[in-house]
Amino acid sequence: MDMSNFNTAEQAHMQKVIETKQMQDFMKLYSGLVERCFTSCCNDFTSKSLSSKEDTCVMNCTDKFLKHSERVGTRFAEHNAEMMGAAQAKR
């Protein structure tokens, strides 16, 4: 996404848009992660509160997902740069 042709007002506008989207994305990430870890880890309803096993599972699930997401982000950026480069070269 090449913003170098945008003037100051347009760049400022895009910055606001990006911030709003990042906030929305974060909320989606959070609720998605809660559901994911709940579905994977909590299958025993003999008690109202989390067992220590479930608690550990949820912690690990969260840590793992965030690390996974970070790694995907790194690789994604690499491939995306290639893809955008190829698209630019074609023009």
Partner 1 sequence: MSFLGLGGGSGGQHGSSQINSQAIDVAVAELDMITDIFNRVVSSCHTKCINQRYMEGDLLKGESVCIDRCVSKFFEVNKKVGERMQQMGGASQAAGGAG
Residue 30 or 68: the one with the smaller Cβ distance to partner 1 is 68
Site string for partner 1, 2-41 (x = CB under 8 A): -x-xxxxxx--xx--xx--x---x--x-------x---xx
Please give the full DSSP string across 5-69, using - where no structure is assigned.
T--HHHHHHHHHHHHHHHHHHHHHHHHHHHHHHHHHH----SSSSPPHHHHHHHHHHHHHHHHHH
> By the criterion CB under 8 A, which residues form the site for partner 1?
1, 3, 5-10, 13-14, 17-18, 21, 25, 28, 36, 40-41, 57, 59-65, 67-69, 71-73, 75-76, 79-80, 83
